[in-house]
Structure 1
Amino acid sequence: MLRPRPSARANRHRGEIEAVIDGERRILCLTLGALAELEAAFAVDDLTGLATRFSAGRLKASDMVRIIGAGLRGGGNLFSDEDVAASGIEGGIAAYAALVRDLLSATFLGEGADAAPDPR
């Protein structure tokens, strides 16, 4: 797996976020290529269809694996979806859900996504 440089930090202007996965800080970003990957995986015609699907708030675990995997690859990490499924994150499923929420917010809402409300 490609490891980010220790000095690399997420740039919210580019839609990047950070997460600690398997004990290592990673940068995730849904680049244009990552979004195209997700359009194909979710069989939607365009970004609007993708945003509509995500805004419904009902994601399966396999959906979260695909989103996190695409975000990791977009951030320069060599993670397959199988790697993501086998990885660990402190906080368990709730932390994975928050990671997906933060990544989608950074992508579709932009820089102001830091203030995204927590649905709990």
Structure 2
Amino acid sequence: MANPWAGEVAVVLDGVPHVAKLTLGALAELEAMLETGTMLDLVRRFEEGAFSTRDVLALLVAGLRGGGWAGTAADLRTVEIGGGPVAAARIAAELLARAFTVPGQA
């Protein structure tokens, strides 16, 4: 079970639940994956609804790795994400939000 107070988000891959979390190490990995722009640019794209599937994939990989998953982006491309692409985008947005806010605060 994911703990929002710890910045965790639940992700189901091929029917198996996982916990994703943007730890400091995961954020550093995410920044390295972003070929252009900054974390603020990424947040802005999500706030404006202008994110790409590449953004979603990078966030999911970083978050899953922060939660202990040992997979790669190539692995994530071959699994079924519970809820499909819409859920994947929602999970990516939740990861960003939980990494930079405290639950219950606006």
**TM-score, scaled relative to structure 1:** 0.73
1:17 equivalenced with 2:2 (yes/no): no
RMSD over aligned Cα atoms: 2.2
- 1:84 is matched with 76
1:30 equivalenced with 2:13 (yes/no): no
Cα deviation, 1:12-68, whole Å, max 9, x if unaligned, reads 2220111211100100000001111122222445x5444334433212112211110
CA contact (8 A) 1:51 1:108 kept: no
Write the letter of the residue equivalent to 1:63.
D
Indicate the structure whose relative CO is greater, using CA pairs within 8 Å and at least 6 residues apart.
2
Write the letter of the residue equivalent to 2:16.
E
Structure 2 unpaired stretches of 5+: none
Matches within 5 A, 1:1-120: 9-42=1-34, 43-45=36-38, 47-112=39-104
Structure 1 unpaired stretches of 5+: 1-8
Quick one: distance in 1 between partners of 2:21 and 2:72?
Answer: 15
Number of residues paired by the alignment? 105
Larger radius of gyration: 1
| Structure 1 residue ranges, 4+ long, deviating more than 4 angstroms after superposition | none
Q: 1:90 to 1:16 in 2, by over 3 A?
A: closer
CA contact (8 A) 2:42 2:55 kept: no
